[in-house]
Amino acid sequence: MAPAQTALLVIDVQRGIMNDPRLARKKEIDQAFDGTVVRIAGLIDRARKASVPVIYVQHDGVPGHRLEPETPGWPIRPEIAPLPGEPVIHKRACDAFFETTLSAELTAAGIKRLVICGCMTQYCIDTTVRRAVSLGYDVVLVADGHTTADTGTLRFEQIIAHHNALLGGFDAGEHEVRVCPSADIGLA
């Protein structure tokens, strides 16, 4: 049997990712995060049923950070917890490829296409999507499967919409980003 061609990459969907007491619209941000997690859970279920690898990326924050390892905010959300044997890549920067084993995992599994979802749209999603394309992967960004918090100038809805528009069609050579709603993504 040939190695899998597609993998679902779930980035930073951790309990404390949106825990910033400075957020003015905490209730709306939390509701959007919960909705995103539901859609990601559906993608994970579909991927597992299709024998598509699910790869998790977990941010390891510095001491005192809301995602510091072994603190309450660090674990991956329980609704989408990895099954035994599903890889969890630990990162310390926005780029899920930077100083991690992600590239080696993908190469070993024969992955050529990444379906990417997760948290911190303008940081970890944007950086990883762009890097993946430049490394030779075709990318499908899940339009309704990534989220973030408000910044000082933009609401999370604006950030998500901007990145969906900006990244759709982004390319490097023959590899490109397509942006699709979760319901329209084929995982075979």
Q: pTM (2 decimals)?
A: 0.96
Please give the structure tokens belonging to residue 20.
């910033």
27 found inside a domain: yes
Strands (E), the chain: 6-11, 54-59, 88-91, 113-119, 138-147, 171-172, 175-180
The reported pLDDT for the residue numbered 115 is 98
pLDDT digits (tens, 9 = 90+) for 143-161: 999 999 999 899 999 999 9
165 found inside a domain: yes
CATH code at 110? 3.40.50.850
Q: Give the separation between CA 23 and CA 26, rounded to whole angstroms.
A: 5
127 found inside a domain: yes
pLDDT digits (tens, 9 = 90+) for 175-184: 999 999 999 9
17 found inside a domain: yes
State the total domains in the chain. 1
1 found inside a domain: no
Rg over CA atoms, the chain: 15
Question: In terms of residue numbers, what domain contains 130?
Answer: 6-184
pLDDT digits (tens, 9 = 90+) for 80-120: 999 999 999 999 999 999 999 999 999 999 999 999 999 99
Alpha carbon 162 to its chain's center = 17
30 found inside a domain: yes
156 found inside a domain: yes
Would you say how long the chain is, in residues? 188
75 found inside a domain: yes
Residue among 145, 141, 119 nearest 130 (CA):
141
